[in-house]
Amino acid sequence: MTMPLRDRATRLILALAITSAMALPRTALAEDSQFDKMRAKIAAFVGDKMEKLGGSRIIYRVDSEGLRESVVTDLRDDVYKILHDGHIAFSGLAIRDGGVELKIADAKGREQLARKLASDAEGLPSHALAVTNGSDGAVKLAPTEAASAARLRDLVEDAVAMIEQRLKDADVKLASVVPDGTDRIRIFLPGVTDPERVTAIFARKVKVSFRSIDASMSAEQAQSGTPPEGSEILLGFKDKKPYLVVKENSKDSALDGEDINYAAPGFAPGTKDPIAQFRFNGRGTRRFAHVTEESVGKSFAIVLDDRVISAPVIREPITGGSVQISGNFTLEEANSVAMLLRAGALPGHLTLVEQRVIQPDAKP
């Protein structure tokens, strides 16, 4: 007796979910390549079996070159902050030949930079650096090959999680999403014969912005009348409450998704309520610190796709670059917000490589 296609697909999806659940924190797996290989083989096996059922196959490639540029740009920004905060004299700080170059005449200054970079990178193999010192005080810093490969694996994992969340938000329930080689992601949708409907979900980039709240009048007054020039009404992500926010193209709007280099769900200390948390890159950290310094005592909207996720009052300047968003979320909502933030920030933009309909295998 032949099992119905949907039941077979569901069983394979469950097998794939179990495979994904085998994942451990990245730090625990940093040196366990055998585990990674085993998990990848199981995922690929399940994906191949699913394709025998027929449906749509979609393959995306992440932008590894864009990732490298982002990593080196963040490295330059981190180096500048260390030099500035440590009052280390330097010259010629620039990005060149896939790394960061500068001159520090004082040997103690070079040692101080090296110690701080090593301290910041502790436990983060993706930030490992090759450091070259010249006799004239020249210093060159560049990510190692191993570090670059680790960052690419992390990026692909982030992209897989983002794709899974976007499909779930679009009510696409049956899908296999697995890495395919070093920089590609394969999606298979059993029984789907219009892959264009799914690729359209990812053709639209998620908009992430951080914008000031206009306190010149209440949002309700603006909603019933005319909002001030340069401001607009946006609704809350969960409560649909109106917010009067400064328009994105105004000189007072601030930051964007490309200033974020990490986002994930989590739990608030003490209350353990679900939250979304994210971290800025070096440029974003400086910009956000400046914005929050000017916004102490004021509300500031975090906006995703023209929906206000949160509008906290800034109590003090936020200079560390890490932000937690609370909004009476369920864990699922916190995960959705985190993945939307990550989708808007993903340095490796997705490029469509293939989309095709595969006919089902004739064998039972």
Residue 104 falls inside a structural domain: yes
Contacts of 49 (CB under 8 A, 6+ apart): 12
Give Cα 85 to chain centroid, integer Å: 27
Burial class (CB in 10 A: 0-12, 13-18, 19+), 239: exposed
CATH of the domain at 308: 3.30.1360.200
Does 141 share its domain with 225? no
Provide the number of structural domains found in the chain.
2
Does 234 share its domain with 319? yes
Residue 4 falls inside a structural domain: no
Residue 32 falls inside a structural domain: no
Which of 147, 164, 191 delimits the end of a domain? 147
Name the 3-class secondary structure at 254.
strand
Residue 134 falls inside a structural domain: yes
Cα dihedral 269, 274, 276, 277, rounded to 10, equals 20
Name the 3-class secondary structure at 57.
strand
Quick one: pLDDT at residue 255?
65
Does 134 share its domain with 213? no
Does 219 share its domain with 321? yes
Dihedral of alpha carbons 262, 265, 270, 271, sign: positive
Residue 45 falls inside a structural domain: no
Reported as half-sphere exposure (CB side, CA atoms, 13 A), residue 162 has a value of 28
Q: Which of 174, 177, 107, 104 is nearest to 139 (CA)?
A: 104
Quick one: pLDDT at residue 244?
93
Does 311 share its domain with 228? yes
Name the 3-class secondary structure at 8.
helix
Domain region containing 271 = 208-345
Tokens representing residue 236 in the block: 């809350």
Quick one: pLDDT at residue 89?
93
Quick one: pLDDT at residue 16?
42
Residue 29 falls inside a structural domain: no
Quick one: pLDDT at residue 183?
92
Q: How far apart (Å, rounded) are the C-alpha atoms in residues 289 and 294? A: 9
Give Cα 63 to chain centroid, integer Å: 13
Does 214 share its domain with 283? yes
Does 231 share its domain with 326? yes
CATH of the domain at 101: 3.90.1150
Quick one: pLDDT at residue 90?
93
Does 237 share its domain with 335? yes
Residue 193 falls inside a structural domain: no
Quick one: pLDDT at residue 5?
47
Pair 55, 358: CB distance under 8 Å = yes
Does 128 share its domain with 254? no
Quick one: pLDDT at residue 17?
39
Pair 104, 92: CB distance under 8 Å = no
Does 241 share its domain with 316? yes
Residue 328 falls inside a structural domain: yes
Does 216 share its domain with 328? yes
Mean pLDDT, the chain cut into blocks of 10 residues (364 residues total): 48 41 40 58 65 85 86 86 90 91 91 83 56 81 85 85 82 85 90 87 76 88 88 88 82 63 82 85 81 83 85 84 82 81 66 89 52
Q: How far apart (Å, rounded) are the C-alpha atoms in residues 198 and 223? A: 35
Does 251 share its domain with 141? no
Quick one: pLDDT at residue 31?
45
